[in-house]
Structure 1
Amino acid sequence: MKKQLFTTFALVSALSASAAMAQQKMDDMKGTDMAKKPAVSTPITHMAKGTVKKIDAKTGWVLMAHEPVNSMNWPAMTMSFKAKDKSLLDKLAVDKKVDFGFVKEGEDYLMTIVK
């Protein structure tokens, strides 16, 4: 019984010390950029070549048959992209071949560039 009590006491002491050390390390970071703002990852713009298959101007979705996208390790396929800015739709027409850029935002792939 004494052995179990001692083990429990040692474990509680170790956890308390660990928590105190973690707080001290956070206190040491006050005034640094890391303490001021959370890390935010910048979305990567992936470039692709494709042919416009369908445009839904009302919703801003574009169906593209694109070539392989090396930066995403994707094969050629046909998929939908949402225009981040609906003014991009003015540069598109069904059966037009374009170079375009996109980012992943949440569950959507947003078209951000059309050339």
Structure 2
Amino acid sequence: MKKIAIASLVMAAASISFAQSTMGDMKGMDMAKKPVVGAQTVHAANGTIKKIDVKAGSVVISHGPVSSLNWPPMTMGFKVKDKDLLAKLAVDKKIDFSFIKEGDDYVVTTVK
């Protein structure tokens, strides 16, 4: 019985040692904390409004790079968290905005 207990302790110690040694392999990973809303990461970008769909509560934005997602500049559709945000928007208006991912959608949460 002592041999089993000792073998278990040795295996546990070896596992911990291995896990600690492999953490060094993560040096290139971006481990910086990002702002969060609840458990969601908040992303920020700037762009130009291309289309507004009040009924659907969505906008199409031609935006610059989003470094927190490693996205290049692109044009894409976003839902809006609060349809009252749509009143602040107009086609061809330049904006700074924040967004989160909810399910399969990217959702604008603030607009400046």
| TM-score, shorter chain, exceeding 0.5 | yes
Partner of 2:110: 113
TM, length-normalised to structure 1: 0.64
Gaps of 5+ in 2: 1-37
1:106 positional shift: 0.4
Partner of 1:68: 65
1:91 positional shift: 1.0
2-side partners of 1:58 and 1:66: how far apart? 22
- What is the percent sequence identity of the aligned residues? 61
Partner of 1:81: 78
1:70 positional shift: 0.3
Relative to total residues, which structure has the larger helix share, 1 or 2? 1
Q: Which amino acid aligns with 1:112?
A: T
Deviations 1:11-64 (A, max 9, x none): xxxxxxxxxxxxxxxxxxxxxxxxxxxxxx611110000000000001111000
* Aligned partner (choices 47, 50, 62) of residue 47 of structure 2: 50
* Residue-pair matches, total: 75
* Aligned partner (choices 97, 101, 105) of residue 104 of structure 1: 101
1:79 positional shift: 0.2
2-side partners of 1:89 and 1:43: how far apart? 22
